[in-house]
A and B are shown apart, each in its own frame.
Chain A
Amino acid sequence: MSTVPEVVVTGLGATTPLGGDVPSTWRAALAGESGARPFENDWAERYEIGVSFGATIKVTPDQVLTRPEIKRMDPSAQYALIATREAWADAGAPEVDGERLGAVVSSGIGGIWTTLDAWDTLREKGGRRVLPMTVPMLMPNSPVAYVSLELGARAGAHALVSACASGAEAIGYGVEMIRSGRADVVVAGGTEATIHPMPIAAFAASRTLSLRNDDPTGASRPYDVDRDGFVIGEGAGVVVLESAAHAAARGARVYARIGGVGLSADGYHITSPEPSGDGQVRAMRAALADSGVAATDVVHVNAHATSTVVGDLIEARSIRGVLGDDADHVALSATKSMTGHLLGGAGALETIFTVLAVHERQAPPTINVENPDPELVLDLVRGTPRALPEGQIAAVNNSFGFGGHNVALVVTSA
């Protein structure tokens, strides 16, 4: 009798605005630090952009990678490779046949630095100066291609794109690769490197960014009454997923299980979430059903909560709608208050936070919530971390993206 494999997390890697790896990022998150800072450039004045800060990466790739690696990879791929190397080492570099090893690493936007640099070169110097590596650097599958090359992952290399849900969708697809029998081990995550004046001007034009230029660390404030938009971030998160049997056979340390994957689409508006939260509710319900976890077992939710006026509350109501009275014992965390919004990297980094919350039994805090929105109908973890109960527990990580993409992942204790 064939059974569907259970999927466990055995390795974690990240490079983020809070730190160059997972331990430093997690420590900073538990301490309630902000990764937002003023830009060290003159973009705001030179290009008349209304936003002069963001959550830039803490440890730049030139401190970690070789010169040739920097030159032949877009920053989005550099971040992914850095996170992958950490995750792979953290998992104990599992011995696995390359044909049984998969890679799923997404970027919401792709190699935009490369695209725009090449366009500048073309206009300033002409077509003969555009470098031949431009296409392999700008293509949105470039990060996962480099991850596949790095590890010899040959079961499949995929880059699912769903804007700010991309990182979570990648992990969900990685889970499915193992469940369907295509792979025993999958490296999965998301990455983004979009802190460039053009996308910042474009996000600012859509009125989605916080304009709190005089207070960068206080700008990302999900569920606070004075929230005014998200803080753009950058970085990558990568997890090593493994069938429980494969992990057990090699005696691997298991952080947690990914018990359920839920996906839906709003089919409503290109940027605005559907106001009733129907799509979000369906994604969470599907993930819970997939995991077999009852609402009463959910003790923690890492919210998508980007600090926008409309989006935060729709999600809070959706969570209440799914969990009902059981939502009363859920510790809700909005970690973008500290990391900023990593776009395609967000869902992956927040999955790592959710896995660590379950593994270490503590929910990270939400910072900058001075006056909680009176319409918030959930128990927000504010200021300092919150202990989670012993025994079998479950947590949900939500990720939603422009275009109406909804992804919910259920993480359960090992």
Chain B
Amino acid sequence: MAHSEQEILAGLAEIVSEETGLPTDAVLPEKSFTDDLDIDSLSMMTIVTLAEEKFEVRIPDDEVKNLATVGDAVSFIAGAQA
């Protein structure tokens, strides 16, 4: 079953919060993973791995570099859902 963008944002915020210790309400669509949330490449790949499992999607490695903000990731995951 497809998740709404709101559900994806909430789920992604939980993953990011677990990985970084930031509160979930700090994980907003306009936030940059690197500049605002201070997420390094290893943490980003952890988030991608966990998001793939949670939302049952495939996020190709080539795509990860295009996911600059939380909103980018939400949009990609929403579009990638079967």
Contacts and interface: CB of A to CB of B under 8 A. Distances in A.
Interface of A: 66-68, 71, 125, 128-133, 136
Contact of A129 (B18, B20, B53): B53
A128 B49 CA distance: 7
Given A132-B42, A133-B42, A68 B18 contact: yes
Contacts of B52: 128-129
Nearest to B19: A68
A312 B80 CA distance: 63
Contacts of A131: 46, 49-50
13 contacts: A67-B21, A68-B18, A68-B19, A68-B21, A71-B18, A128-B49, A131-B50, A132-B42, A132-B45, A132-B46, A133-B42, A133-B46, A136-B42
Contacts of B53: 125, 129
B38 to A, nearest CB: 12
Chain B at the A interface: mostly helix, strand, loop or mixed? helix
Interface string B39-73: 00010011001101100000000000000000000
A133 B41 CA distance: 11
B55 to A, nearest CB: 13
Interface of B: 18-21, 42, 45-46, 49-50, 52-53
Residues of A contacting B: mostly: helix
Contacts of B45: 132
B10 to A, nearest CB: 17
Contact of B18 (A67, A128, A132, A136): A67
A291 to B, nearest CB: 45
A78 to B, nearest CB: 15
A68 B42 CA distance: 13
B41 to A, nearest CB: 9
Contacts of B50: 131
Nearest to B17: A67
- Closest 8 interchain pairs by CB? A132-B45, A68-B21, A132-B46, A66-B21, A132-B42, A131-B46, A131-B49, A129-B53
Contacts of A136: 42
A353 B18 CA distance: 37
B23 to A, nearest CB: 12
Contacts of B18: 67-68, 71
A68 B16 CA distance: 10
Contacts of A71: 18-19
Nearest to A132: B45
A132 B52 CA distance: 13
B49 A129 contact: yes
Nearest to B53: A129
